Amino acid sequence: MTIRLGDTAPDFTQDSTEGKINFYDYAGDNWVILFSHPKDFTPVCTTELGYMAGLKPEFDKRGVKVLGLSVDGLGDHEKWADDIKQTQGNTLNFPLIADHDRTVADLYDMIHPNANDTLTVRSVFIIDGNRKVRLILTYPASTGRNFDEILRVVDSLQLTDSHKVATPVNWKDGDDCIIVPALSNDEARKLFPGGWDEQRPYLRVVPQPGA
Protein backbone atom coordinates (compact mmCIF):
# COMPACT_ATOMS: atom_id res chain seq x y z
CA MET A 1 0.00 0.00 0.00
CA THR A 2 1.34 3.42 -0.97
CA ILE A 3 0.58 6.36 1.31
CA ARG A 4 0.44 9.83 -0.23
CA LEU A 5 -0.12 13.31 1.15
CA GLY A 6 -3.80 13.92 1.82
CA ASP A 7 -4.61 10.23 2.26
CA THR A 8 -6.41 9.04 5.36
CA ALA A 9 -3.87 7.39 7.66
CA PRO A 10 -4.69 3.67 7.97
CA ASP A 11 -5.93 2.40 11.31
CA PHE A 12 -4.19 -0.46 13.08
CA THR A 13 -4.02 -2.26 16.40
CA GLN A 14 -0.61 -3.36 17.62
CA ASP A 15 1.36 -4.03 20.81
CA SER A 16 3.52 -1.27 22.27
CA THR A 17 5.60 -0.43 25.30
CA GLU A 18 2.45 1.16 26.79
CA GLY A 19 0.10 -1.73 26.03
CA LYS A 20 -1.97 -2.60 22.99
CA ILE A 21 -2.73 0.47 20.91
CA ASN A 22 -5.51 1.11 18.44
CA PHE A 23 -4.20 3.97 16.36
CA TYR A 24 -7.48 5.85 15.91
CA ASP A 25 -8.30 5.56 19.61
CA TYR A 26 -4.79 6.69 20.52
CA ALA A 27 -4.91 9.65 18.16
CA GLY A 28 -8.42 10.84 19.00
CA ASP A 29 -8.70 14.28 17.41
CA ASN A 30 -5.04 15.07 18.02
CA TRP A 31 -2.22 15.38 15.53
CA VAL A 32 0.26 12.50 15.57
CA ILE A 33 3.92 12.04 14.69
CA LEU A 34 4.49 8.41 13.65
CA PHE A 35 8.12 7.55 13.03
CA SER A 36 9.72 4.20 12.31
CA HIS A 37 13.02 2.50 13.05
CA PRO A 38 14.56 -0.45 11.20
CA LYS A 39 15.23 -2.47 14.34
CA ASP A 40 16.16 -2.13 18.01
CA PHE A 41 19.69 -1.40 19.24
CA THR A 42 20.63 0.65 16.19
CA PRO A 43 22.94 3.57 16.98
CA VAL A 44 21.37 6.43 15.03
CA CYS A 45 17.86 5.53 16.16
CA THR A 46 18.98 5.37 19.80
CA THR A 47 20.00 9.04 19.57
CA GLU A 48 16.73 9.94 17.83
CA LEU A 49 14.47 8.31 20.40
CA GLY A 50 16.35 9.98 23.21
CA TYR A 51 16.13 13.39 21.57
CA MET A 52 12.43 12.98 20.80
CA ALA A 53 11.77 12.09 24.44
CA GLY A 54 13.36 15.40 25.44
CA LEU A 55 11.43 17.34 22.79
CA LYS A 56 8.06 15.72 23.51
CA PRO A 57 6.81 18.55 25.80
CA GLU A 58 6.96 20.88 22.79
CA PHE A 59 4.77 18.52 20.79
CA ASP A 60 2.42 18.22 23.77
CA LYS A 61 1.94 22.02 23.74
CA ARG A 62 0.80 21.77 20.13
CA GLY A 63 -1.67 18.94 20.71
CA VAL A 64 0.56 16.44 18.93
CA LYS A 65 0.96 12.85 20.10
CA VAL A 66 4.17 10.93 19.44
CA LEU A 67 4.32 7.30 18.38
CA GLY A 68 7.48 5.36 17.55
CA LEU A 69 7.75 2.00 15.82
CA SER A 70 10.29 -0.79 15.44
CA VAL A 71 9.80 -4.32 14.14
CA ASP A 72 11.32 -6.05 17.16
CA GLY A 73 9.37 -7.44 20.10
CA LEU A 74 8.45 -5.89 23.43
CA GLY A 75 11.26 -7.59 25.33
CA ASP A 76 13.85 -5.95 23.11
CA HIS A 77 12.00 -2.63 23.27
CA GLU A 78 12.21 -2.63 27.07
CA LYS A 79 15.94 -3.37 27.03
CA TRP A 80 16.47 -0.72 24.36
CA ALA A 81 14.57 1.83 26.47
CA ASP A 82 17.13 1.26 29.24
CA ASP A 83 19.97 1.90 26.78
CA ILE A 84 18.28 5.08 25.56
CA LYS A 85 17.94 6.42 29.09
CA GLN A 86 21.52 5.57 30.01
CA THR A 87 23.15 6.93 26.86
CA GLN A 88 20.88 9.84 25.95
CA GLY A 89 19.75 10.99 29.38
CA ASN A 90 16.03 10.92 28.57
CA THR A 91 13.45 8.32 29.54
CA LEU A 92 11.23 7.03 26.74
CA ASN A 93 7.95 8.88 27.36
CA PHE A 94 5.81 7.82 24.40
CA PRO A 95 4.71 4.41 23.08
CA LEU A 96 7.09 2.41 20.93
CA ILE A 97 5.13 -0.01 18.75
CA ALA A 98 6.38 -3.59 18.63
CA ASP A 99 5.55 -4.28 14.99
CA HIS A 100 6.84 -7.86 15.13
CA ASP A 101 4.57 -9.08 12.31
CA ARG A 102 5.10 -5.90 10.22
CA THR A 103 1.39 -5.06 10.19
CA VAL A 104 2.02 -1.34 10.45
CA ALA A 105 5.15 -1.42 8.28
CA ASP A 106 3.13 -2.91 5.44
CA LEU A 107 0.17 -0.56 5.90
CA TYR A 108 2.43 2.49 5.76
CA ASP A 109 4.78 1.18 3.05
CA MET A 110 7.79 1.23 5.40
CA ILE A 111 9.59 -1.69 3.77
CA HIS A 112 11.40 -0.79 0.54
CA PRO A 113 12.85 -3.94 -1.08
CA ASN A 114 15.45 -2.00 -3.05
CA ALA A 115 16.80 -0.54 0.18
CA ASN A 116 16.40 -3.65 2.33
CA ASP A 117 13.86 -6.43 1.95
CA THR A 118 13.48 -7.18 5.64
CA LEU A 119 13.87 -3.94 7.59
CA THR A 120 11.57 -0.94 7.83
CA VAL A 121 12.93 2.27 6.40
CA ARG A 122 13.19 5.31 8.67
CA SER A 123 10.03 7.20 7.85
CA VAL A 124 8.19 10.09 9.49
CA PHE A 125 4.49 10.77 9.07
CA ILE A 126 2.72 13.89 10.33
CA ILE A 127 -0.98 13.11 10.63
CA ASP A 128 -3.51 15.81 11.49
CA GLY A 129 -6.57 15.72 13.72
CA ASN A 130 -8.72 14.62 10.78
CA ARG A 131 -6.40 11.62 10.27
CA LYS A 132 -5.03 13.05 7.04
CA VAL A 133 -1.36 12.53 6.19
CA ARG A 134 0.23 15.97 5.95
CA LEU A 135 3.94 15.13 5.64
CA ILE A 136 6.04 12.08 4.72
CA LEU A 137 9.81 11.94 5.07
CA THR A 138 12.06 8.93 4.52
CA TYR A 139 15.69 8.91 5.61
CA PRO A 140 18.60 6.56 4.94
CA ALA A 141 19.81 4.51 7.88
CA SER A 142 23.01 6.50 8.29
CA THR A 143 21.49 9.98 8.63
CA GLY A 144 19.88 11.09 11.87
CA ARG A 145 16.53 12.82 11.52
CA ASN A 146 16.10 16.47 12.51
CA PHE A 147 13.19 16.52 14.93
CA ASP A 148 13.47 20.29 15.38
CA GLU A 149 12.54 20.44 11.70
CA ILE A 150 9.55 18.14 12.31
CA LEU A 151 8.40 20.53 15.03
CA ARG A 152 8.86 23.48 12.66
CA VAL A 153 6.71 21.75 10.03
CA VAL A 154 3.96 21.14 12.60
CA ASP A 155 4.01 24.86 13.46
CA SER A 156 3.77 25.74 9.77
CA LEU A 157 0.94 23.30 9.02
CA GLN A 158 -1.10 24.36 12.04
CA LEU A 159 -0.56 28.02 11.18
CA THR A 160 -1.81 27.43 7.64
CA ASP A 161 -4.90 25.64 8.92
CA SER A 162 -5.71 28.40 11.40
CA HIS A 163 -4.84 31.56 9.46
CA LYS A 164 -4.62 30.79 5.71
CA VAL A 165 -0.96 31.67 5.44
CA ALA A 166 1.95 29.74 3.99
CA THR A 167 5.49 29.89 5.34
CA PRO A 168 8.48 30.91 3.20
CA VAL A 169 11.92 29.38 2.92
CA ASN A 170 13.68 28.80 6.25
CA TRP A 171 10.69 30.18 8.14
CA LYS A 172 10.79 30.00 11.93
CA ASP A 173 8.04 30.68 14.44
CA GLY A 174 7.54 34.44 14.60
CA ASP A 175 8.80 35.21 11.08
CA ASP A 176 6.72 36.84 8.36
CA CYS A 177 4.35 34.64 6.38
CA ILE A 178 2.73 34.62 2.94
CA ILE A 179 -1.00 34.86 2.27
CA VAL A 180 -2.05 31.67 0.48
CA PRO A 181 -2.65 32.22 -3.25
CA ALA A 182 -6.15 30.74 -3.06
CA LEU A 183 -7.28 33.74 -0.98
CA SER A 184 -8.47 36.70 -3.07
CA ASN A 185 -7.53 40.25 -2.07
CA ASP A 186 -11.10 40.91 -0.95
CA GLU A 187 -11.02 37.81 1.26
CA ALA A 188 -7.54 38.68 2.50
CA ARG A 189 -8.62 42.17 3.62
CA LYS A 190 -11.12 40.61 6.00
CA LEU A 191 -8.47 38.38 7.56
CA PHE A 192 -5.57 40.85 7.40
CA PRO A 193 -7.08 44.33 7.95
CA GLY A 194 -3.62 45.77 8.55
CA GLY A 195 -2.75 45.04 4.94
CA TRP A 196 0.30 43.33 3.50
CA ASP A 197 3.48 43.87 1.54
CA GLU A 198 2.55 42.94 -2.03
CA GLN A 199 5.90 42.09 -3.58
CA ARG A 200 4.07 40.45 -6.46
CA PRO A 201 0.34 39.77 -6.88
CA TYR A 202 1.07 36.16 -5.89
CA LEU A 203 3.57 37.09 -3.14
CA ARG A 204 1.74 38.92 -0.33
CA VAL A 205 3.81 39.07 2.85
CA VAL A 206 2.26 39.62 6.28
CA PRO A 207 3.47 39.40 9.88
CA GLN A 208 2.79 36.02 11.41
CA PRO A 209 -0.79 36.00 12.76
CA GLY A 210 -0.90 35.72 16.52
CA ALA A 211 2.85 36.21 16.95
Q: What is the pLDDT of residue 55?
A: 97
- Looking at domain 13-145, its CATH superfamily turns out to be Glutaredoxin (3.40.30.10)
How far apart (Å, rounded) are the C-alpha atoms in residues 159 and 130?
16
Annotated catalytic residue, options 45, 64, 127, 188: 45
pTM, whole model, 2 decimals? 0.92
- What are the φ and ψ backbone dihedral angles of 16, each rounded to 5 degrees? -150, 175
Q: Could you tell me if 146 and 139 are in contact, meaning their C-beta atoms sit under 8 angstroms apart?
A: no
Known catalytic residue at 177: no
**CB-based contacts of 29, cutoff 8 Å, min separation 6:** 129
Ranges of residues in the chain whose predicted pLDDT is under 70: 1, 112-121
Instruction: Kindly report the CATH number that applies to the domain delimited by 164-206.
Output: 3.30.1020.10
Please provide residue 49's backbone torsions phi and psi, each rounded to the nearest 5 degrees: -65, -40
Distance, CA of 67 to CA of 53 (rounded, Å): 11
pLDDT the model gives residue 94: 96
Between CA 155 and CA 163 the distance in angstroms is: 12
Dist. CA 115–CA 57, nearest whole Å: 33
Q: What backbone phi and psi angles, to 5 degrees, belong to 198?
A: -90, 90
Q: Is there a contact between 209 and 163 (Cβ–Cβ < 8 Å)?
A: yes
- Comparing CA positions, the residue from 198, 19, 8 lying closest to residue 94 is 19
Euclidean distance between CA atoms 201 and 73, whole angstroms: 55
pLDDT at 148: 96
Locate the domains of the chain by residue range. Answer: 13-145, 164-206
Residue 41's pLDDT is what? 83
What is the pLDDT at residue 172? 95
